[in-house]
A and B are shown apart, each in its own frame.
Chain A
Amino acid sequence: MVEFIQIVVNGIFTGGVYAIIGIGLSLIFGVMRIVNFAHGVFLVVGMFTTLFFFERLHVDPFLVIPLVVLVGGLLGVIVERSLLEPIARAPEHASILMTVGIGLVLSNVLLFTFGDAPQIINTRYSTSTWHLGPITFSTALTISFFLTVVVISGLALLLGRTDLGRAIRAAAQNADAAELQGINTRRVRSLVFGMGFALAALAGALLLPQLFAHPSIGPTYTLKAFIVTVLGGMGNVAGAIGGGLLLGITESLGAAYVSSSYRDVFGLAAFLLVLLLRPAGLFGRSRT
């Protein structure tokens, strides 16, 4: 039983980070109707930005998170303004190809700048743990889960209680109507893409102290983000949280009780089942 709880706890903690990755993708899809194939690469950009600050400025990776989020947000706005806005009225596949291209360029820039060896950082808490009864918690995972909760709560407040949040939700529901109400949807789109990039970069910063960074691991996370988003319902931010946690727990239990060599299978199987049986997502309502 203890073992089971331990495995579920690990799954929840990992799932929290998956949720952050998924929320960004979901937000972008909800407002912009763009399937962002570069999302995993944005996360890797976050990892390397953190790595850069950690190695050059010798600051704790968790302390540079505001900087990383800022860099991510700015990059997102720049990318949206210069590359996605000009093709906003083009057919859907144009934006898909564009995001694939953005991902390729970014990962190769990282490869060129940081080289090809996997980068690992050592912090005091990379391997430290704390205990609650018989359950062991990784310190790094705990901090990142705590930050995840803070960020998701903040995001929920932003979307639910502020004018900006209302503008974003309005633009997601019906862009033309929102425009008629005086909402500058062009600005909203830039902001949302910036937020999506910043959230992915944040996930990268949260993962770096425990994992490793490599320019080519982006697609792995893009896939995870897709699974989370589909589980939760495309464009459904609250659903992405549920989807993230569900994916984390499924993977953890599957790896422990079935076989770790099939770890990704569990997430993908859930992905297919949901697509077949509930195409709007587990927590989703059909949009049409």
Chain B
Amino acid sequence: MKQMIMALALVFLVLGTAGGTSGAAPASGEPIRIGAISSLTGSFATFGSMERAGYALAVDDINTAGGLNGRPLVIDLQDDTSSANTALTVAEQFINSGVPLILGAYSSSVTKPLAVYMARQRVPLLNSNSADDSITKPGSDYVFRVGQNTDAYVKPFFALFKQLGTIKTIAILVSNNALGHSVENSLLTQAKDGGYPVVFDQAYDEGLTDFRPVLNRIKDTGADVLAMSSYEADAVALMRQIKEVNLNAKIFAGAGATGFAIPSFLKGGGDTVEYVITSAAWSPDVHYPKAHELFARLKAFMGGAEPSYHAIRAYAGATVAADALRRAATLSPEGIRAALQTTSLTTPFGTVEFKDFSGFHNQNPLPSILMQVQHRAYVTVWPLDVAVGKVIYPTPVWTARK
């Protein structure tokens, strides 16, 4: 079963590689193979399928445009079954087979141990989608992150709170995992800096699906903001039960993006997710070159399904890898690591540069945006220079909604 899915994934990638040979000077010669680890099955499979699409389209584009100095790029994508142990086994196999660079993984809880392992093996790991601060803080010389960390996810919320002016208290409810705790820490630090008392702070066990007891407690605190971080199914279950217990906050915040910022959140949550504000790494509204075009192409590539920012970030990750491979003096782990460090690239996802700042190491300092669910669609509302709609505030109480 798993092998079958992996085989399908491989076929998919190889087809992706061979597909776009209509360009001017397609790559030929001996291919350069790098590894990629993602969650193609298991609880993070939805996100893994986004990464797979992003990688596949990127490989397609890179090879159509001449590949890596004439040689085609092959991304060998393997499944970690949403488990850290499997990811480590796959990484070991990759390294034993001489792969000089690995992309991935998806989830913070998988990437954290993977990053430690890769640093020990002295092979560079290029991560696109894991947000846990501790992956690049303190980080290592061999771990590079293209995507935003949780500090960056949380930051625009506090800028918004400041502008709104009438926010006083914050309640925090996060899933009990690497991402959740990193979001929780970012929220606590930034709430303290901004002078917002945190009146409730709890983690819940993943797979717990009766949130009513804890939501009733939050209701009693009367917090202005309920900031949450969850993966896919929990985010919808939370919003449904928030409506059910009639918990009213001025802002329902998806502070860790992820489950609150994917198309299935809109579909599964129906009218309960209206007005939710979520941070997000990217939307087609950002002012980066070819952003809208890439979104449309990814959508077509995915057979009409809406891509989330995870697909875009995976695309950016593959583009950054290709850029480093082109510039690397040697195609060894050390050569590629040195090339990655001097990356300065503008992608449709945004500018990618690996910087050291406030305790982070090899972290791309890209800001996040905020999107609000309005009429069952994501509308970019922050920062103001990329916003296409206004924040609806405060969130109407449940009894006043149709």
| A contacts, CB < 8 Å to B | 3, 6-7, 10, 14, 108, 111-112, 115-118, 120, 122, 126-129, 136, 138, 210-212, 214, 216-217, 220, 251-253, 255-256, 259-264
Contact = CB atoms under 8 A, between A and B. Distances in A.
B210 A14 contact: yes
B400 interface: no
Contact of A260 (B45, B46, B208, B272): B208
Contacts of A214: 43, 233
Interface string B233-246: 10011001101111
B207 A220 contact: yes
B244 A136 contact: yes
Contact of B45 (A6, A116, A122): A116
Given A259-B202, A261-B202, A261-B203, A211 B209 contact: yes
Contact of B208 (A115, A128, A255, A256): A255
Interface string B68-106: 000000000000000000000000000000000000000
Contacts of B31: none
A10 B212 contact: yes
Contact of B216 (A6, A117, A128, A259): A6
Nearest to B45: A116
A138 B237 CA distance: 13
A255 B241 CA distance: 15
A142 to B, nearest CB: 11
B237 A122 contact: no
A252 B232 CA distance: 23
Contacts of A255: 204, 208, 210, 213-214
A116 B203 contact: no
Contacts of A129: 244, 246
- Main SS of the interface on chain A? helix
The 4 closest A-B pairs by CB, nearest first: A256-B213, A116-B45, A120-B268, A118-B233
B216 A260 contact: no
Contacts of B213: 7, 10, 252-253, 255-256, 260
Contacts of B232: 117-118
A211 B232 CA distance: 12
Contact of B43 (A216, A259, A260): A216
Interface in B162-213: 176, 202-205, 207-213
Interface in B208-225: 208-214, 216-217, 220
B359 interface: no
Contacts of B217: 3, 256
B21 interface: no
Contacts of A136: 244-246
Given A14-B210, A261-B205, A127 B244 contact: yes
A112 B207 CA distance: 21
A138 B46 contact: no
Given A261-B203, A262-B205, A116 B240 contact: no
B42 interface: yes
Contacts of A3: 216-217, 220
B233 A120 contact: yes
B204 A256 contact: no
Contacts of B209: 210-212
A215 to B, nearest CB: 10
Given A126-B240, A127-B243, A256-B214, 15 more contacts: A115-B45, A116-B42, A120-B236, A126-B270, A127-B241, A138-B244, A210-B237, A212-B236, A214-B43, A217-B207, A255-B214, A259-B203, A260-B202, A260-B204, A264-B208
A245 B270 CA distance: 31
A182 B394 CA distance: 72
B237 to A, nearest CB: 7
A216 B204 CA distance: 19
B384 to A, nearest CB: 33
A108 B41 CA distance: 11
A74 to B, nearest CB: 25
Nearest to A126: B240
Given A129-B246, A261-B203, A111 B1 contact: yes
Contact of B264 (A6, A117, A253): A117
A211 B240 CA distance: 10
B267 to A, nearest CB: 8
Nearest to A120: B268
A264 B205 contact: yes
A41 to B, nearest CB: 15
14 contacts: A3-B217, A7-B216, A118-B43, A118-B264, A120-B233, A120-B236, A120-B267, A120-B268, A122-B270, A136-B246, A212-B237, A262-B205, A263-B204, A264-B208
B327 to A, nearest CB: 37
B1 A108 contact: yes
Contact of B240 (A6, A10, A210): A210
A261 B204 contact: yes
A188 B329 CA distance: 75
Contacts of A260: 202-205, 208, 211, 213-214
Nearest to B210: A14
Contacts of A264: 205, 208
Contacts of B236: 120, 212
Contacts of B233: 118, 120, 212, 214
A10 B204 contact: no
A117 B45 contact: yes
A127 to B, nearest CB: 5
Interface in B34-58: 41-43, 45-46
A112 B270 CA distance: 27
A218 B176 CA distance: 20
Given A136-B245, A138-B244, A261-B176, A127 B210 contact: no
Contacts of B212: 7, 10, 138, 252
Contacts of A220: 207
B236 to A, nearest CB: 5
Contacts of B46: 116-118
Contacts of B268: 118, 120, 122, 212
Nearest to A138: B244
Contacts of B45: 115-117
Given A108-B1, A118-B232, A211 B203 contact: no
Contacts of B202: 259-261
